[in-house]
Amino acid sequence: MIIRNPNREIALIKKVLGQNQPLTRGSLAGLVKSFVTKNRRSILSIARAHATPFYLFDRQSLDANISRFIAAFARLAPKQNIFYAMKSNPYVPVLKTVVRHGLGLDVSSGTELQLAVNAGAKRIVFNGPGKTAAELGLALKHRSKVTVNLDSFAELKTLGSLAAARKQKIRAGVRLVSTTSHGAWNKFGVPLEQIETFWRTASRYQNISLEGIHFHNSWNANAAPYVETIKTIAAFLKRSPRVRRSLKFIDIGGGFWPYRVDGYYPWLLPAGEIVRTAHAAQKTAASFTDRYYLSESVPLASYAREIKQAVDKHLAPLGDYQYYVEPGRSISYPAFHIVMRIADVKGADYGIADAGTNIVGLDTYEYVYHPLINLTHFGTKEITFELFGSLCTPDDVFGHYCYATKMAAGDVIIIPNQGAYTYNTAQPFIKDVAPVLPLPNR
């Protein structure tokens, strides 16, 4: 036996299994029906003319989503202070669409910085840990457009030395270690208790204008993490007049989860994982109450309203600051859809697609629920059907249910709203990365 104290571990497992977990039950049937009504005919036409699989670039939906975000955050951040986090999807037409709307770009490498410049971005924030001298040198080259959010004292020293040697001035902020996360998230930023020292150190570098504080909390179900961090920053500024007087911007970061477009399977929860693992060990099938749960989130307007209220209450009395936001997936998610065909039906409730999950970076769909839609034999209700990819590996699953009346070889299947962290994480594993085709305006 590998467990030192079985009774303690059994008691712990019982405790986890007995915990009440806050769950968002619901269905995405309304979203699916609306998508099919709007797009079915044009997508089937494209699928007849082109080999599957492919991504569809939906510029019309991206345009509409950018406009929604600008409107939601208008009272907090004007559009020039909205920086699209291009790591969520760096497809050049996506970047150019964002820039055309007047938004800036958020980059986290020299590669992304060059892409942002090439896309015509007028304003760029450079985030991320471990920036190299070459990357910081590139930021200096484009200093009229770039604000560097420094991640450490070492980055400050490197940028300060480069700027002095080149006799070039650049604007900067400093990233704060997240006050609402822990563990691996602590790799980012400078601890709050060191920010005043950081400010004093930065003052020695005459070519660096340190003007901002940046923080970032990811995967936020609501505005609470932003509000908590805003309170923390306000309390710090009250006791640090040096920082308060020279501060010009506060970068709130991103992490706004799209509302009611995806979900997760029960086995992603601690209790579900225990049950599934136990059944797998016994070679039996686990049974769960619900097929999936909807991802916890709130509408964009709710994030914006509560953040603005916190800013007005805690930060506005301390100074006339500008506020930046860095949306990623909340902008890009409707920009791409994934289209494939059923290559083989191998049983009544399972089959093989002509795509592999390398189209998104492998095992995403084993845990994250996105609706599968059969455009050939569309149905308004989901049927149980496990759709595997065609990679020569078992960890190649697209989903366990499909909106369909039946499933047959050759049927066109679409997974909508796949514009975030799919195209950019795809890899040529066994199969080539799929091409991108345009979806005409409807």
Contact (Cβ atoms closer than 8 angstroms) between residue 163 and residue 205: yes
- Asked if 120 and 140 count as a contact pair (C-beta separation under 8 A), the reply is no
Pick the catalytic residue: 154, 224, 278, 392? 392
Would the CA dihedral through 122, 127, 133, 135 be positive or negative?
negative
410 conformational bin, left if phi > 0, alpha if psi -120 to 50, beta if neither: left
Cα–Cα distance, 379 to 40 (Å, whole number): 12
Concatenated DSSP letters of 17-75: HHPPPP------HHHHHHHHHHHHHHHHHHHHHSPSPEEEE-HHHHHHHHHHHHHHTTT
Q: What's the token pair of residue 100?
A: 């055309």
Note whether 151 and 173 are within 8 A (CB): no
Residue 253 to residues 59, 65, 298, 386, Cα–Cα distance (Å): 24, 18, 17, 37
d(CA 390, CA 410): 14
282 Cβ partners below 8 Å, 6+ apart? none
Known catalytic residue: 392?
A: yes
What size, in residues, is the chain? 442
The residues that are catalytic are: 392
